[in-house]
Structure 1
Amino acid sequence: MRPILIVDDEAAIAELVRRTLAEAGYPCRAVTDGPEAADLLEAEKFDLLILDVMMPEVDGYELLRWARPTGVPVIFLTARGGTADKVRGLRLGADDYIVKPFDPPELVARVESVLRRAGRGALTLTAWDVAVDTGACTVTRGGAPVPLTPKEYDLLLLLLRNRGHVLYRTYLYETVWGEEEFGQSTRTLDTHIQRLRRKLGWEEKIRTIHRVGYCLAAE
């Protein structure tokens, strides 16, 4: 797998993006100016380019034009959230457009989506005898396929990428279902977790944190 190149003239933002994607398993390079990014694009190959728009010397639009002949997919990550800005970026050839401030899980999901469409950057995440191929969206246990629903699959990815960390119920609701409340369906999350435990043999590995949420044990 080739690295993801992150270009943002705000060093703190570039580092936040790099750390977010690195924790999800993606190798990354982060730079803070356009000319250096242009040099890297000429000298190396990348699976994805994440660009800010507003940068001195060489802005994101110019870098997109520079990168287009290489065929590398591009995501704009910028504070410019106007409709005209989004339309311009997408018409110039960007594969996605994310407005700052961004939510880290959403960023990872958008990156996965663009990489999947481009046929690049597939990762295999493993825990005990379970393996998840994020490119093919398949799960195996001891080499045998495990059929999961889309929500079960999304929950599994969140648990794998946050091993040893407690995930709050509200966070899981918002990230997987896009809702803060389920009204009368508040047991939906618990039901999905129970199914994951049964299908993966993780009855003791996905821990319930009473009144808080869930945590996947570290190996």
Structure 2
Amino acid sequence: MSTSVLVVEDATPIRVAIAAALTDAGHRVLAREDGARLERDIDEFRPDAVLLDVMLPGSDGFDLLKIVRRRCDAGIVMVTARDAVADRLRGLDDGADDYVVKPFEMAELVARVAAVLRRRGRLATAIHIDDLTIDPESATVTRAGEPITLTATEFRMLHHLAQRRDRVLSKTQILTAVWGYEHYDPNLVEVHISALRKKLEAHGGRLLHTERGLGYRLGVTRDSES
């Protein structure tokens, strides 16, 4: 069952981008521009995590934080342009689990949400695909019980593909998720995919597939694989 994340952010471009990134990461997302419906959303949507912008019209994020804490035990990530230490301490003291300052890399925000969900027991730690095991908490990978040594970038790429097992991801999607920017040379993806595939296949058959003209897929073999 997928986890649910409630996003409260008044800036439309940021709200849309966050919702898209979290949806792509496999979460159910409800995005609001303010906290006017917060109590009802908590009761009806039952979020596992809540992202709260601090500077909102009406009640600010600190006020909404207190409402969330009274009504549920969701993980809370504060998202704001206010980076003063006093503001960060206030949010954490009031019960926030994490505090992200704008501007931020979308991949980092998604990773922080996942970390909060794991700490609260809302997200499975290890991912298993055939004989491959990926543990994001310890940042370890094994195949058929044998450890596989990956670079930090290779691990982020593998984890991103594993979270979307059997889905084809384009080079642009991978660039955005792993590097946080979609305009790098696409060959960057090819080089890392090749290195990652070589390490995985040193311990078994092919799990990382190239779908011609579309992108890459992590999963069991299909007749259409290339």
TM-score higher than 0.5 here?
Answer: yes
Q: How many residues in Structure 1 have an aligned counterpart in Structure 2?
A: 200
Deviations 1:134-170 (A, max 9, x none): 68978787xx656444645433113445843226999
Q: Which amino acid aligns with 2:170?
A: H
SS of alignment partner, residue 36 of structure 2: helix
Checking the alignment, whether the CA contact within 8 Å between 1:139 and 1:145 is kept in structure 2 is no
Task: Give the corresponding residue for 1:199.
Answer: 203
Identity of counterpart residues, as a percentage? 33
Matches of 2:173 and 2:62, distance apart in 1: 38
Checking the alignment, whether the CA contact within 8 Å between 2:208 and 2:216 is kept in structure 1 is no
Alignment RMSD, CA only? 3.8
Task: Give the corresponding residue for 1:165.
Answer: 170
Matches of 2:140 and 2:116, distance apart in 1: 18
Q: State the 1:92 CA deviation.
A: 1.4
Q: State the 1:126 CA deviation.
A: 7.9
Deviations 1:60-111 (A, max 9, x none): 1011111113111100111112222212111211111111122121111111
Q: Which amino acid aligns with 1:92?
A: D
Deviates more, 1:194-203 or 1:125-134: 125-134
Checking the alignment, whether the CA contact within 8 Å between 2:197 and 2:208 is kept in structure 1 is no
Task: Give the corresponding residue for 1:216.
Answer: 216
Q: State whether structure 2 residue 42 is matched by structure 1 residue 41.
A: yes
Checking the alignment, whether the CA contact within 8 Å between 1:77 and 1:99 is kept in structure 2 is yes
Matches of 1:92 and 1:217, distance apart in 2: 42
Matches of 1:125 and 1:147, distance apart in 2: 15
Q: State the 1:53 CA deviation.
A: 0.4
Question: Structure 1 regions of 5+ residues with no counterpart?
Answer: 176-186, 208-214
Matches of 1:40 and 1:46, distance apart in 2: 8
Q: State whether structure 2 residue 89 is matched by structure 1 residue 84.
A: no
Deviates more, 1:31-40 or 1:13-22: 31-40
* TM-score normalized by the length of structure 1: 0.71
SS of alignment partner, residue 7 of structure 2: strand
Checking the alignment, whether the CA contact within 8 Å between 1:34 and 1:58 is kept in structure 2 is yes
Q: Which amino acid aligns with 2:47?
A: F
* TM-score normalized by the length of structure 2: 0.69
Q: Which amino acid aligns with 1:62?
A: D
SS of alignment partner, residue 203 of structure 2: helix
Q: State whether structure 2 residue 31 is matched by structure 1 residue 27.
A: no
